[in-house]
């Protein structure tokens, strides 16, 4: 089993992806957000599997459904579970906030960050967020 301490550069690259992911998400910057993925990318949430492809990130994604009241999110935890030369698994928790700073909810998730053709990006995530 790969150990995170054996792959410090890969872990750093994966954590950098999560930084960029959250920054782009909070900025509602669809172009920057898409750059944080390795497509196709899978999301499992609310008992559904959604496969994301380039061009799927639309501005309305940030203002409808579960994100209707959402203003921004913040990572609460990003613990590396496994790491290898081209893949890192990260146990995360993030919190969603309204504009007034009140909490919408906190959600546990697992992110799989891969390196494909030299690009580190989110390949899959499984979340308890709606």
Express each pLDDT in 78-106 by its tens digit: 999 999 999 999 999 999 999 999 999 99
Domain of 80, CATH number, reads 3.10.450.50
The predicted pLDDT at position 24 comes to: 97
Q: Which domain holds residue 27?
A: 4-127
- Looking at the structure of the chain, the number of domains it has is 1
pLDDT band, very low/low/confident/very high, at 67 (cuts 50, 70, 90) = confident
Alpha carbon of residue 38 to chain centroid? 11
Q: Count, in order, helices (H) and strands (E) of the chain.
A: 2, 6
Q: Which positions ≥6 away from 37 have C-beta within 8 Å?
A: 52, 121, 122, 123
Percentage of residues of the chain with pLDDT beyond 70 = 99
C-alpha angle with apex 1: 123 to 87, nearest 5 degrees?
A: 20
pTM of the model: 0.93
Peptide bond just before 123 cis, omega within 30 deg: no
């Amino acid at each position: 089993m790969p150990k995170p301490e054996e792959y410090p550069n890969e872990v750093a690259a994966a954590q950098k992806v999560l930084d960029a992911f959250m920054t782009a998400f909070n900025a509602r910057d669809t172009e920057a957000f898409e750059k944080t993925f390795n497509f196709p990318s899978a999301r499992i949430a609310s008992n559904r599997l959604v496969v994301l492809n380039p061009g799927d990130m639309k501005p309305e994604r940030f203002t409808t459904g579960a994100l209707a009241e959402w203003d921004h999110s913040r990572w609460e935890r990003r613990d590396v579970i496994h790491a290898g030369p081209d893949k890192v698994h990260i146990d995360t928790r993030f919190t969603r906030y309204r504009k007034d700073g009140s909490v919408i909810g906190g959600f546990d998730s697992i992110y799989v960050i891969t390196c494909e053709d030299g690009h580190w990006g989110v390949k899959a995530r499984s979340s308890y967020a709606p």
